Amino acid sequence: MTTIFTYYYNVLIVLLTIAAAIAALLGGLTAIHSRKKLHYAMALTSGLVLGLVGFDLLPEIFDGVKSQNLDPVWPMVLFVAGFLVFHIVEKIILVHEGAENEYGPHRHPSLGIARAVALTGHSFLDGLSIGVGFQVNPTVGVAVALAVIGHRFADGFDTATFMLLNKNKVSQIRNFMSIVVVAPIIGGLTSLVVTFSDLALTLYLGFFAGLLMYIAASNILPQAHTKGSSYKMVGLTLIGVLFMFIVTRFI
């Protein structure tokens, strides 16, 4: 009987990670097809990213700190490190390419690729977290899966939008979205054979949250207002934040 349940849950983990992958793909395709109104998409995206950090990643970090009896300064050190790493990478790329412009926002395809690579790692851990949730018990596993699927769409949308912003070709975006789509499935399969410490996941989330915060504050939000501020732009940002609050708190 135990073997039957184990097989059932393993199949369920795979199916749920596939659903998470499809959600990310739909988010990316939506961003690609709305690129003619990119500044509106950026306003919405800035809210989605801020909501993801504030309502999903940081609470997960706090839970990990509590359950692991971890000094909270270490995830926050990695939060600051994530913020600074993307800032340093951005500046190195811009200096190398001669793209500095003190009178306007910076854009370069390498920055879009860096964002996609970061999301690939996060996508892997999303799939892994579904499997780890089932290792605790099926109820936790399903709850984690619903949360992951809910924000996968936003992640796919964010990444594709950011790559469009930085002048990446649509073919590049499609290639990276393919990797992002497969990553949670690989993470789910990995959870079936490998056990990762909660401590390592908590520390990683601190780093990733800092990276996303830099992207939202320094890249996405300023770009949303390059054509002038408006109540519509502010409203879209607030809608993005509210959407992530609802997804992470009630779904």
Query: pLDDT per residue over 74-114, tens digit each?
Result: 999 999 998 998 788 767 755 444 444 444 455 667 777 77
Share the mean pLDDT of the chain: 79
Least confident of 35-49, 76-90, 98-112, 187-201: 98-112
pLDDT at 99: 46
Q: How confident is the model over 229-239, as pLDDT tens digits?
A: 577 888 988 99
Q: How confident is the model over 50-59, as pLDDT tens digits?
A: 888 898 889 8
Characterize 106-141 residue by residue with b for buried, 16 or more Cβ atoms within 10 angstroms of its Cβ, and e for exposed.
bbbebbbbbbbebbbbbbbbbbbbbbbbbeeeeeeb
Residue type, 11: V
**Confidence check: pLDDT of 2 > 80:** no
Q: What whole-number percentage of the chain has pLDDT above 70?
A: 83
Residues in the chain: 251
